[in-house]
Amino acid sequence: MAMTAKTFEYFCQLVLTRSAIVLEAGKEYLVESRLLPLAKLHGFSTLDEFAAAMSGTMFNTMHRQTVEAMTTNETSFFRDIHPFEALKKAIIPEILARKSATKQLNIWCAAASSGQEPYTVAMLLRENFPELRSWKITFIATDLSSAILAKARSGRYTQLEVNRGLPAPLLVKYFTKDGTEWQIKDEIRNMVEFRELNLIEKWPAMPVFDIVMIRNVLIYFDVATKKNILRNVRQVMSPQGYLMLGSAETTMALDDAFERVQIDKGIAYRQTRATGAVRSYAAA
Ligand SMILES: C[S@@+](CC[C@H](N)C(=O)[O-])C[C@H]1O[C@@H](n2cnc3c(N)ncnc32)[C@H](O)[C@@H]1O
């Protein structure tokens, strides 16, 4: 069932102001397929009626669910593999050496979706860096969507989800089968603290992070929003920290206080004043 141009514009504005996600003309089909089931759940038979009801009221559950329904939560374990190879091969070893006195590692995985990304990093740490057991690790994973965070916190995945990117030995070691699903074990689940955080709103006080992952979310934002977020990232990142973005994302032409570090096929970004062994990795 089609919606009017006014209704489409209402949804575009709502999603833009609340999440910064830009919905371009031509995305009407996406809006319809994602929002019509939600409209029906709230007792409306068309999107025009749904939008009319929302536009006259204060921001409430319907608005929130609408924004969340328009987010794309696509993710997988070890997505794009190279960033995780870079963490294992160069980034974590460099941090281990540099911070051996304080033994404190702070990681933030923003826009973490249903948790596969932070749990991938948690498994990678457990598997490859046993010395970290004596470190204090603060690992925060955030997302805008409370619904997707509930799934992330549960640590439950379907067969299809674990088939995507998770090596069989890690599945066997860190998950238990529960009916048709797989439950991640508490030793990994408890490493990650999930919190709600909208990247375009004021960020709460956070630790100084050694590693910040904001992958596959900047692509949805306009240039001004990307610049703001990158500037804010610098405020919560150690001067020697590492930023990791999605494979289609970059700091180039957005924030020249970051520079790109190539680690084999993996890419990380460091602040231009950063020091540490990984800088020379590419040159070695
Ligand atoms: C495509 S997923 C990326 C998941 C994971 N980082 C990865 O690369 O596999 C994008 C995530 O960004 C979240 N998101 C979208 N807009 C956001 C915002 N303004 N603040 C925080 N998270 C947002 C969505 O809810 C979604 O879970």
Same domain, 60 and 94: no
Residue 76 belongs to a domain = no
Tell the residue nearest (CA) to atom 2 of ligand 1. Answer: 73
Same domain, 193 and 214: yes
Whole domain around residue 59: which residue ranges? 5-69
49-73 pLDDT, tens digit per residue, is 999 999 989 999 999 999 999 999 9
Q: At 213, give phi and psi (nearest 5°).
A: -110, 120
pLDDT band at 177 (very low <50, low <70, confident <90, very high): very high
What is the spatial distance between Cα 119 and Cα 189, in angstroms, rounded to a whole number?
A: 7
Residue 115 belongs to a domain = yes
Same domain, 86 and 65: no
pLDDT band at 284 (very low <50, low <70, confident <90, very high): very low
Residue 107 belongs to a domain = yes
Ligand 1 contacts (CB < 6 A) are: 19-21, 71-75, 79, 111-113, 117, 143-145, 148, 198-200, 215-217, 246
Contacts of 253-256 with CB under 8 Å at 24 or more apart are 254/223, 254/226, 254/227, 254/230, 255/227, 255/230, 255/231
* Distances from the Cα of 41 to the Cα of 66, 172, 222, angstroms: 12, 38, 31
Reduced to 3 states, what is the DSSP secondary structure of residue 204?
Answer: coil
Q: At 220, give phi and psi (nearest 5°).
A: -85, -10
CA of 78 to the centre of ligand 1 (A): 16
Residue 77 belongs to a domain = no
How many distinct structural domains can be found in the chain?
2
Residue 252 belongs to a domain = yes
**pTM tops 0.85:** yes
Average pLDDT estimate for 21-41: 95
Same domain, 97 and 62: no
* Distances from the Cα of 30 to the Cα of 19, 134, 179, angstroms: 16, 48, 33
